[in-house]
Amino acid sequence: MEIGVVSRSFPKLTNEEAAQKMASNGFVWTELCFSQTDSNYWKYNGRSDLSAMTNERCRDIVETYRRHGVEVASLGVFTNLLEPDKEELQANLAYFERHMELAASCGVPVVATECGFVPGKRGIQAETYESVFAAFVDTFRWLAERAGHYGVKVALEPCVLDVVPSAKRTRDFLEQVGSEHVQVLLDPANLIANSSEEDMFSYLAPHIAYFHGKDRKVNDAYGRIVGDGDIRWPAFLELYHRHTEGLPFILEYVNPDNFVQVKDRVLNFDRMR
């Protein structure tokens, strides 16, 4: 089984150093978030000034990984798509569209995001859920149209903490958006409290763009490294090989001290299936 790792696992390295480190330890994919010392633009659930990130600069960065045999499976955006302020939301959408343009310019097939959240109000709020969800569907229909324009896919990473909290609800969401340009970034840790390993593939297998590899205890708010949570990894990986063989599986929540150890855990679980 081939494994990747997110670039933001190495925030103290340049892109060249991160690519070398990935390749020398047998990693073949990355999710690129412009989080390196020579391209420090990534801001979780927000946005940054991308004016210095030209198409040419993006191509140079992506080619840095490719030269080392590491394919960039996606650009990670992860801005707030549930922003209630209309002007701020429009700025976030422009930021997202710029990532689509960058991805298209260098042949990266996917741009990825979570739902986003308002700090202090993350998750389902009964009094606003219906209107927020409807607005979110409309937002994704707009993103889908722009993704079609640029020839890329938008991958949503659903999470138990957000307004798309389960595998079935994700499938419902995809059907309501109704676009071939919208796919799923499946992070099993984000759904394990609401969806079994089998449910994830039953509802989502045809729609998955790639995977995050991390774990979670079902009562935890946040994730853990693979093997430290409640996911049945041999069962999950059996389903991966049966339904989605060859899609990028990219480790998350790892760091320079443990990323190789966690890769070895995944390979061991894969042998147990």
| Mean pLDDT computed over 14-26 | 98
Please give the tally of structural domains in the chain. Answer: 1
Q: Which domain holds residue 174?
A: 4-272
pLDDT in tens, 24-83: 999 999 999 999 999 999 999 999 999 999 999 999 999 999 999 999 999 999 999 999
Q: Which of the four pLDDT bands, split at 50, 70 and 90, describes residue 131?
A: very high
- What percent of the chain stands above pLDDT 90? 98
Q: How far is CA 239 from the centre of its chain?
A: 20
Tell me the pLDDT band of 147, cut-offs 50, 70 and 90: very high
Provide the residue type at 4 as one letter: G
Cα–Cα distance measured from residue 183 to residue 110, given in angstroms and rounded to the nearest whole number:
9
What does the block give as tokens for 268? 């061991």
Would you say 188 and 227 are in contact if contact means Cβ atoms under 8 Å apart? no
Compute the mean pLDDT over every residue in the chain, rounded to the nearest whole number: 97
CA nearest to 53, candidates 65, 63, 38, 68: 38
Segments of 79-164 assigned E as strands: 110-113, 153-156
Q: What percent of the chain has pLDDT over 70?
A: 100
Q: Where residue 87 sits, what CATH number does that domain have?
A: 3.20.20.150
What pLDDT, on a 0 to 100 scale, did the predictor assign at position 136? 97
Residues 141, 174: Cα–Cα separation, whole Å? 10
DSSP state of 103: H
Digit-coded pLDDT (tens) for 198-235? 999 999 999 999 999 999 999 999 999 999 999 999 99
pLDDT at 187: 98
Beta bridge partners of 40: 35
